[in-house]
Structure 1
Amino acid sequence: MQSELYLLNCWYGLAWSTELDDGALLARKVLGNSLVVFRDKEGRPAALRDRCSHRMAPLSMGKLKDGVVECAYHGMQYDGSGRCVHYPFGPVPARAVVEHYAVVERDKMIWIWPGNPELADSSLIPDYHFHNNDDAEDDWVVFGYTNVKADYRLEIDNLMDLSHAEYLHATSFGGRGFITNHGRYQVRDLGNEIHSNWWMPAIDLVHPGTRQPIGVQADHFLDMRWNAPSNMRLQVGFLPQGVHADREDAPRDDLPGQFSAHIITPEDEGSCHYFWSADRPKGSVGFVGGMDKEMGRKIFKVAFEIEDKPMLEAVAANMHKGFWEEKPLILPNDVGGIRARRRLAKLIREEQEPAGAEAVSSEALIQMTPSIS
């Protein structure tokens, strides 16, 4: 997997764990490469290049038999390491091997490391532990997948600037004026982790169904966390008005809130996989407080598939050059997304530089891209 568009030595979301249930053989293209994903006989996830070593037949057209993939063309069987373990017509040829990738299952997601497998470090996988609360009493988590015909970095831009919720999501969970009337924007830059946050004090809580005020005020926050290359987590909080006012400019991960995952994986240069989730912890207030699981699934699906997806695909279709060549207007609430773009470009450049090549400094990189104005 080689492209100037992608960071390779990092973790990308490959599939929700449930996509491999019941002996499934999943075909998925990642970073322009076709893969077949499955569970081996021990139930561990595996990912191979979707191409038999013999006649290049897609292995995903075959079947999974006792944790090994059988090619539908000539019956050659491959285990999770990509090694051919059975050739029906004689001894297994020495070159009967398929490329395999480092994969890890964590927090109900199958993660893939498309670069050097010897560098794969599972401790670098971002934390999405709230996914594991799905079976807890009175809690729920919904999971979804959307294929978006747009460059993956446009999806990052969209998620790092949540001001669009007031307009694009007016029929789902936006349009209440919280951001436009009360919002204070803040970016926290922690290197390969960037936070793009909104703090909205003294907003009037509304009923999720009628959208009418219920006579209670709260301090509201939206905290989006970006981990390189394209893994994001949103925390949405509604706090008793004034009780946590001192946390406006401080980390809020420990405060009560509703979480959602936004894990973006490039499919190829013109499309991406969007894995999304949302939870409702016990005792939630605000937007999801009065929802059951099916209502939650429906409204998040509307937001991400009916509202976000068509807009991002229209933006992509309206671009005839690269992002910076289009000379977009940069607004103050784009700071988080622009920093993520620059940081990702820097990481990709550093990864692809030959050993001993002169590094491009952060200052030089910033000078190479338009300033925020």
Structure 2
Amino acid sequence: MFPKNAWYVACMPDELADKPLGRRICGEKIVFFRGADAAVQAVEDFCPHRGAPLSLGFIQDGHLVCGYHGLVMGGDGKPVSMPGQRVQGFPCNKAYPVIERYGFVWVWPGEAALADPAKLHHLEWAERADWAYGGGMYHIRSDYRLMVDNLMDLTHETYVHASSIGQKEIDEAPVKTRMEGEQVVTSRFMDNIAAPPFWRMALRGNGLADDVPVDRWQICRFTPPSHVLIEVGVAHAGHGGYDAPAEKKVSSIVVDFITPETETSHWYFWGMARNFRPDDAELTASIREGQGKIFAEDLEMLERQQQNLLEHPERALLKLNIDAGGVQSRRIIDRLLAAERAVGAEAAA
């Protein structure tokens, strides 16, 4: 159901401040911790002695110590020592490739030999001082692909987010879907409309009038395995919309990294990167708070949707033109899964 030979966001750096972190990713139980050089390490969250979760232990001298009987585990998955015992014959744990970059910790849950740092999704805005980022994380009890569907079709904003970013013009504006290599792009442009509450707040935050007509845009980009980045913004009407000069608009990138946990649950890392007033910490906090409330509304809808789908597995779902982005994204995921299965079958033969 989820490709494993890919980079997923595992956690944010502050989750690894002073103790191990256990997290299931793509069905794999993994424990993350910082080694002696502060580099993030990741190994199977299973003590080879009695099967206790290593994530319930602690870190000592750059090693992970099991909190049950004191077995010491290295970041390479090899047992190092244990009080009064010889551990040389103990089986090794699986170790996972990890990269800390762009303000996130990324993990490759599949075949370690295939992990290529060059395949990590490049985030140009995360390396630039003229951009600011604020975000958070939710645990959602639904198939991660439902979140991909949700983000690649923003028609739901009119209904789920009526008090913040939704407006009827989203329904009325045509949506276009296209492929750019292995990337799916859906776009919607709305001209000469009123800005909804969230965007009025953003206009004020950038020192712009919030009571004038605006041009609004939404450009959603799905990149495998499950990343969705959305260019969003509004500009004072009549100044070029998406291409308006910076002093006439507020624009940003909605960041959505969706990491499968199980077949019916996922970790959702959300945030917004913006290139206006990047040094304004108060504005960052305000936008983050607003986004957090918006995404909490998605959480309830997706979890209830998942319950319905589990209760009615025989029901066929409709596919409309607004679903094209999600449909194309799922086709890419299916191709990746088929390729991994073929490689596994070949290896087993």
Superposition TM-score, scaled by structure 1 size: 0.81
1:250 is matched with none
Query: Closer, same or farther in 2 for the Cα pair 1:132/1:17, shift >3 Å?
Result: farther
Q: Secondary structure of the equivalent of 1:123?
A: helix
CA distance in 1, matches of 2:121, 2:236: 29
Q: Secondary structure at the match of 2:67?
A: coil
The answer for the alignment partner of 1:47 in structure 2 is 42
Q: 307-316 or 201-210, which moves further after superposition?
A: 201-210
SS class of match (2:38): coil
Structural mapping, 1:253-264, within 5 Å: 257-264=251-258
The within-5 A match list for 1:162-173 is 162-173=154-165
1:61-72 maps to which residues of 2 (within 5 A)?
A: 61-72=56-67
SS of equivalent to 2:4: coil
Matches within 5 A, 1:26-45: 26-45=21-40
Please list, as runs of the form range in 1=range in 2, the aligned pairs for 1:132-281 lying within 5 A after superposition. Answer: 132=127, 140-174=132-166, 176-181=167-172, 183-205=173-195, 208=200, 214-239=210-235, 241-244=237-240, 257-281=251-275
CA drift at 1:178? 3.4
CA distance in 2, matches of 1:356, 1:25: 35
Alpha-carbon displacement from aligned partner over 1:141-188 (angstroms, at most 9, x marks no partner): 2221101111111111111101111110112222x333134x231112
Q: Deviations over 1:100-128 (max 9, x none)?
A: 11111111111111111111112222233
CA deviations over 1:277-300 (Å, ceiling 9, x no partner): 11333259xxxx9x7233222211
* Aligned counterpart, 2:293: 302
CA distance in 1, matches of 2:159, 2:292: 17
Q: Could you tell me how far apart the structure 2 residues matched to 1:180 and 1:123 are? A: 39
Tell me the equivalent position of 2:111.
116
Tell me by how many angstroms 1:343 deviates. 1.6
Q: Indicate the structure with greater helix content.
A: 2
Are residues 79 and 117 of structure 1, via their aligned partners in 2, closer, same or farther at CA, if it must alter by over 3 Å? same
Distance 1:299 1:228 in 2: 27
Kept in 2: contact 1:108–1:132 (CA 8 A): no
Quick one: distance in 2 between partners of 1:274 and 1:116?
Answer: 23
Cα offset, 1:337, TM superposition: 0.4
- Structure 2: tracts of 5 or more residues without a match: 244-248
The answer to whether the 8 A contact 2:73-2:80 is kept is yes
Tell me the CA shift for residue 53 of structure 1: 1.3
After superposition, the Cα gap between the structure-2 partners of 1:72 and 1:339, relative to the gap in structure 1 and judged at 3 Å, is same
- 1:282 aligned residue: 276
Give 1:326's aligned amino acid: R
> Match of 2:15, as an amino acid?
E
Contact (CA 8 Å) 1:145, 1:274: kept in 2 or not? yes
Q: Give the number of equivalent residue pairs.
A: 335
**Cα distance in structure 2, aligned partners of 1:41 and 1:192:** 39
Correspondent of 2:122 among 98, 123, 127 = 127
Q: Which amino acid aligns with 1:6?
A: F
AA in 2 matched with 1:308: D
Query: Higher mean Cα deviation, 10-19 or 292-301?
Result: 292-301
Which residue number in structure 1 is paired with residue 307 of structure 2?
Answer: 317
Listed one character per residue, the Cα deviations across residues 302-321 of structure 1 (whole Å, up to 9, x for unaligned) are 1112x101110110111137
The letter for the 1-side match of 2:267 is H
Shift of 1:210: 12
TM-score normalized by the length of structure 2: 0.86
Residue aligning to 1:346: 335
Q: Which residue of 1 aligns with 2:320?
A: 331
Aligned residue for 1:101, secondary structure, equals coil
Preserved contact between residue 237 and residue 256 of structure 1 (Cα < 8 Å): yes
Cα-to-partner distance string for 1:178-218 (whole Å, 9 max, x where unaligned)? 3134x231112123211122122233346625999945333
State the distance in 2 between where 1:246 and 1:169 align: 22
Partners of 2:307 and 2:180 in 1: CA distance:
33
Helix, strand or coil at the partner of 2:24: strand
Moved more, 260-269 or 91-100: 91-100
SS where residue 28 of structure 1 aligns?
A: strand
Task: Structure 1: state its 5+ residue gaps.
Answer: 248-254, 358-373
The 2-side partners of 1:196 and 1:39 are apart by 39
Q: Distance in 2 between matches of 1:339 and 1:61?
A: 41
Q: Distance in 2 between matches of 1:35 and 1:246?
A: 42
Residues of 1 paired with 2:331 and 2:97: CA distance?
A: 27
**DSSP 3-state at the match of 1:180:** helix
Q: Hey, what's the Cα distance between the residues in 1 that align with 2:235 and 2:289?
A: 25
Tell me which residue corresponds to 2:246. none
1:40-88 Cα shifts (integer Å, max 9, x gaps): 1111111111001111111011111122100112211112111122222
* 1:151–1:266 Cα contact (<8 Å) kept: yes
- Partners of 1:224 and 1:84 in 2: how far apart? 45
Distance 1:257 1:124, change over 3 A: farther
